[in-house]
């Protein structure tokens, strides 16, 4: 093992910025680009609006390596059960296809929307039990196109 050129210095940043995140991720991005090839990253934001035009929820994700990761899907309680979530997911799938993605993945908790995603054709590929305690976190994916 080569000698370490720098002493170990670890600091906690109480209020990290986007610049801090970019600095932290720089060596990982370099490694990933070398191993998996460079990838374009596209942020996806689809908003749900009420009759007055105010944003009341939506979908947030990022596409890279030809997969879209849906980080957040949120709707107010009164919008649930009326097809709004399905419409957001269909719009995300259309945008993922436009970007050349081959699939979509996401995660959800046992007290959230696993059944909703499964009805849309997503399948569980991973699970963490007791996250939070007494519940589970599920990871789902779906191939598209």
Whole-angstrom distance, CA of residue 33 vs CA of residue 119: 35
56: which 2 tokens?
């009341």
The tens digit of pLDDT for each residue in 45-67 reads 999 999 999 999 999 999 999 99
Backbone angles phi, psi at 2, to 5 degrees: -70, 155
Give the start-to-end residue ranges of the domains of the chain.
Answer: 40-143
**pLDDT value for 39:** 84
**pLDDT value for 107:** 98
What number does CATH give the domain 40-143?
A: 3.40.630.30
SS3 22: helix
72: which 2 tokens?
């957040």
Q: What is the pTM for the complete model shown?
A: 0.87
Peptide bond into 53 cis (omega under 30): no
């Amino acid at each position: 093992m080569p000698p370490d050129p720098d002493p170990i210095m670890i600091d906690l940043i109480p209020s990290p910025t986007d610049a801090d995140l970019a600095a932290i991720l720089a060596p990982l991005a370099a490694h990933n680009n070398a191993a998996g090839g460079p990838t374009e990253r596209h942020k996806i934001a689809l908003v749900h609006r009420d009759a007055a035009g105010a944003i009341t929820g939506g979908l947030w994700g990022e596409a890279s390596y030809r997969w879209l990761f849906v980080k957040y899907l949120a709707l107010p309680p009164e919008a649930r059960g009326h097809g709004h979530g399905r419409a957001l997911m269909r719009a995300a799938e259309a945008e993922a296809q436009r970007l050349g993605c081959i699939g979509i993945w996401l995660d959800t908790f046992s007290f959230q929307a696993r059944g909703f995603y499964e009805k849309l054709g997503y399948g569980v590929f991973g699970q963490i039990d007791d996250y939070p305690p007494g519940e589970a976190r599920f990871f789902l994916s779906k191939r598209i196109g």
